[in-house]
Structure 1
Amino acid sequence: MNLPKKAEDAHAALAAAFNTGNVATVMSMYDVTGVIVPEPGKSISGKENFEEAVKALLSIKGKMEIKTVYCLQAGDIAVARSEWNITDGDEVKVSAKGIEVLKQQDDGGWKIIVDHAFGAEADLLA
């Protein structure tokens, strides 16, 4: 999968990657030296942990949709806020508001380096 060339396209690219159902395709969207928060209160890092989190997310069968609320870029770093869900027909399996930090790669593509999938939830405590 080709990385997005604009930071603001990262959410759409991540949803498309998820919807392939392929772990390697989803993993290609992440800089695994970063951090992922796959569920509230659980922060992880490292390739093996990222892969485990991606597999768990993919085990939720359905279609992912991600709306970009905003994306602010400063040089090769961007911060974005998302509203995302995984649905199966009319059933919403997961719905959340996230915050992501993106880093531009040497080839010009963008990867997610921090993915706080529930980071913008109103009731989330730090």
Structure 2
Amino acid sequence: MNLPRRAEDVHAALAAAFNTRDMSNILRVYDFNGVIVPEPGKPVSGRENFEEAVRGILSIEGTMEIRTVYCLQAGDVAVGRSEWNITNDNEVKISAKGIEVMKQQADGTWKIIIDHAFGALENMLA
């Protein structure tokens, strides 16, 4: 799997990686110096914690779809707002609105440094 070369393509790359169901493909999309919030109020950092968070998401059977609502870039940093879901046999297993911060890497590719999977929900305070 190739990493995206444009910030606005990161959401699609994450969904494609998730749909391979391959942990290494998914983890390639992330910068482990960052933060992932796999469930409201539970931010984690570091590779081990990222792996645990991804395992939790992978436990949800189905296909991930991510729609980019917007992506704003300033130099080597971008912020995106997403609407995502995981469906299985036309049944929505989980659906949310997220906020992601992406950082351009030295090789020109983009990775997610902050992934707040539920960060844009109306009742989300933190």
Q: Could you list the runs of 5+ residues in structure 2 that have no partner in the other structure?
A: none
Equivalent residue runs for 1:1-126 within 5 Å: 1-126=1-126
Within 2, Cα distance between the matches of 1:77 and 1:124? 24
> Percent identity between the aligned chains?
71
How far off its partner does 1:96 sit? 0.1
Within 2, Cα distance between the matches of 1:14 and 1:81? 13
TM-score, normalised to structure 1, is 0.99
The number of aligned residues is 126
How far off its partner does 1:63 sit? 0.1
How far off its partner does 1:5 sit? 0.5
- Cα deviation per residue 1:20-54 (whole Å; 9 max; x = unaligned)? 00000000000011000000000000000000101
TM-score, normalised to structure 2, is 0.99
